[in-house]
């Protein structure tokens, strides 16, 4: 399939490229930047939510699934973007948020009218709340005074969860998928899709020894896979080349992999690897080993997204050579590569200085939780630790923005050159076979993919490696001056080498 060796580029719409000077990225801004993305080597765009929304959760609270928010342009602007991207040889996939709607969505507004309303059972209602907690903090139940019942929201109270046990909900979602497929979309990224169903007996969730809730009855529930198989079957029946990728709210690889397969999603985001807070090569090696055990399941390869601190700070610790080697792990590897806007420039985090700088509801909740007890300075510091705005700063293409700017990297030209070279090598040599002989020792990571051998020295000391086979080698890529001598390769500090057996 087309996506097997593709490089995807996630566009967080409001922060990417602003074409009309209002400080908010838009469809025409993306269209103007398509030559830039094509030159980088991008094969597919992933657009984050662009639907009408009150923006309680920056667009992941959808009030109309079949239209666009006017701050991004018009539906015609989006259709033109899709067509121009296709003419440039790029596919387009979009975010779909089917776990919940905005409470401003007409479906929920109808459900509020009466307990007898036809849309009432499209959502989850209870006479009494249980102890389930929202992933954004606090109770997952909100009281409706008119009906004297509580509705369920696994995230913000303005994001009411849909009741997927009602067949009418599924039918409505199929119509939405139809709408976008007919617009020329090439696939879908499904947001927090393992939250789609909850336990029907509504038992309280257990808590651990620290009194932290274990989400046992509100995620990964029996029956969710059957629903997801129906969704994927519907999409593939429309067009077998349409791509589906799941976001699973888990970093447990076994949990993630149960959502991928012939009847399920083409792949799912491997947060077990991509979301790590620091670079640990031994851990990375163990995860690559686990991710490569099932050849029919292509893992995802990413170190950045709209929900986490940028890898320039988090994994590379602002070291250009380390960042360079991380590009190899993203591109010359078994799996599907996902880049996040600006990582090709080595952009750093945006950090809020005060409450008015914060846009993320998760960070705002943390700030107000700690402000009374810890004071302003500590509350802001704690908010920034969970602040998803860190990666959402405006790109340097823009003069002003709805949010502050991402930190510019002085080495952006060098970093960009590294991405271009390795993406081109991926296109030439990929798709790559499952990894073998994965080894991590003394800050050196090496692995094989078929006849291709990757050796990356993350340490501050030079290393000498004896190649197992005394035969001619073709050097496909190198960084920081490694060199071959007979059957040995010498790697200076933080050097990398990719070779191919002749």
Q: Provide the β-strand partners of residue 443.
A: none
Across the chain, mean pLDDT equals 95
Residue 420 pLDDT? 98
Residue 296 pLDDT? 72
Helix residue spans in 123-205 (DSSP H): 167-182
Q: How far is CA 69 from CA 73, 156, 171, 418, in A?
A: 7, 20, 24, 36
Q: Provide the β-strand partners of residue 246.
A: 190, 268
The pLDDT-based confidence of 486 (bands split at 50, 70, 90) is confident
pLDDT per residue as tens digits for the range 22-58 = 999 999 999 999 999 999 999 999 999 999 999 999 8
Residue 328 pLDDT? 98
pLDDT per residue as tens digits for the range 160-192 = 999 999 999 999 999 999 999 999 999 999 999
Residue 295 pLDDT? 64
Tell me: cis bond preceding 392? Omega within 30 of 0 counts.
Answer: no
pLDDT per residue as tens digits for the range 369-405 = 999 998 999 999 999 998 999 999 999 999 899 999 9
Write down the residue that tokens 């107000």 correspond to: 368
pLDDT per residue as tens digits for the range 107-162 = 999 999 999 999 999 999 999 999 999 999 899 999 999 999 999 999 999 999 99
The Cα–Cα gap between 276 and 336 comes to 18
Map out the domains of the chain with their CATH numbers.
Answer: 7-102+167-350+407-429 (3.20.20.80), 107-152 (3.90.400.10), 436-501 (2.60.40.1180)
> Is the pLDDT at 487 greater than 90, yes or no?
no
Phi, psi (degrees; rounded to nearest 5) at 446? -140, 150
Give the active site residues. 191, 247
- 3-class secondary structure for 143-166? EECCCCEEEECCCCCCEEEECCCC
Residue 502 pLDDT? 82
The Cα–Cα gap between 495 and 330 comes to 16
pLDDT per residue as tens digits for the range 328-361 = 999 999 999 999 999 999 999 999 999 999 999 8
List the one residue out of 264, 85, 115, 98 whose CA is nearest residue 184: 85
> Is the pLDDT at 469 greater than 80, yes or no?
no
Q: How many CA atoms lie within 13 A of 463 on its CB side?
A: 21
pLDDT per residue as tens digits for the range 230-255 = 999 999 999 999 999 999 988 888 99
Q: Which residues of 95-124 are buried (b: 16+ CB within 10 A; e: fewer)?
A: bbbbbbbbbbbebbeebbeeeeeebbebbb
> Is the pLDDT at 492 greater than 90, yes or no?
yes
> Is the pLDDT at 470 greater than 70, yes or no?
no
Residue 293 pLDDT? 87
The Cα–Cα gap between 46 and 27 comes to 13
Question: What's the pTM?
Answer: 0.95
pLDDT per residue as tens digits for the range 306-334 = 999 999 999 999 999 999 999 999 999 99
CA pseudo-torsion sign 196, 202, 206, 211: positive
The Cα–Cα gap between 9 and 19 comes to 19
In sequence order, the 6+-apart residues with CB closer than 8 A to the CB of 244 are 187, 188, 190, 232, 235, 265, 266
Q: How far is CA 435 from CA 10, 180, 285, 329, in A?
A: 25, 36, 10, 11
């Amino acid at each position: 399939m087309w996506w097997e060796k593709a490089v995807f580029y996630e566009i967080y719409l409001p922060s990417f490229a602003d074409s009309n000077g209002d400080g908010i990225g838009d469809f025409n801004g993306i269209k103007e930047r398509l030559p830039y993305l094509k030159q980088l080597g991008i094969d597919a765009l992933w657009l984050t939510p662009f639907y009408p929304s009150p923006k309680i959760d920056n667009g992941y609270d959808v009030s109309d699934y079949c239209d666009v928010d006017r701050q991004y342009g018009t539906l015609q602007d989006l259709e033109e973007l899709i067509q121009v991207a296709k003419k440039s040889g790029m596919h387009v996939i979009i975010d779909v948020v089917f776990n919940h709607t905005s409470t401003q969505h007409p479906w929920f507004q109808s459900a509020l009218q009466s307990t007898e309303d036809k849309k009432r059972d499209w959502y989850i209602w209870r006479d009494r709340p249980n102890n389930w907690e929202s992933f954004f903090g606090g109770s997952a139940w909100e009281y409706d005074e008119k009906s004297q019942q509580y509705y369920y929201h696994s995230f913000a109270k303005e994001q009411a969860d849909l009741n997927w046990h009602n067949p009418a909900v599924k039918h409505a979602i199929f119509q939405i998928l139809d709408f976008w497929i007919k617009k020329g979309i090439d696939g879908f990224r499904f947001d927090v899709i393992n939250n789609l169903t909850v336990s029907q007996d509504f038992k309280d969730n257990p808590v651990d020894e620290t009194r932290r809730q274990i989400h046992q009855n509100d995620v990964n529930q029996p029956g969710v896979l059957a629903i997801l198989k129906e969704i994927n079957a519907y999409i593939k029946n429309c067009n077998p080349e349409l791509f589906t990728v799941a976001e699973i709210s888990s970093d447990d690889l076994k949990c993630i992999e149960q959502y991928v397969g012939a009847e399920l999603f083409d792949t799912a985001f491997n947060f077990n690897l991509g979301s790590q807070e620091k670079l640990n090569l031994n851990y990375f090696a163990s995860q690559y080993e686990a991710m490569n055990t099932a050849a029919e399941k292509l893992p995802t390869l990413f170190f950045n997204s709209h929900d986490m601190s940028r890898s320039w700070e988090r994994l590379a610790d602002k070291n250009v050579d380390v960042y360079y080697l991380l590009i190899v792990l993203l591109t010359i590897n078994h799996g599907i590569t996902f880049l996040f806007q600006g990582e090709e420039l080595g952009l750093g985090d945006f950090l809020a200085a005060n409450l008015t700088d914060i846009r993320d509801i998760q960070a705002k909740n943390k700030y107000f939780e700690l402000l009374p007890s810890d004071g302003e300075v500590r509350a802001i510091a704690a908010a920034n630790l969970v602040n998803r705005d860190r990666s959402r700063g405006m790109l340097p293409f823009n003069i002003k923005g709805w949010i502050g700017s991402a930190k510019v990297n002085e080495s952006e030209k060098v970093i960009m050159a590294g991405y271009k070279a390795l993406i081109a090598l991926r296109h030439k040599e990929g798709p790559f076979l499952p990894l073998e002989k994965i080894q991590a020792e003394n800050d050196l990571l090496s692995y094989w993919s078929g006849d291709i051998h990757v050796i990356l020295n993350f340490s501050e000391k030079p290393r000498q490696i004896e190649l197992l086979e005394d035969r001619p080698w073709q050097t496909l890529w190198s960084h920081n001056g490694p060199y071959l001598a007979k059957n040995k390769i010498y790697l200076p500090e933080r050097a990398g080498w990719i070779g191919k057996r002749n």
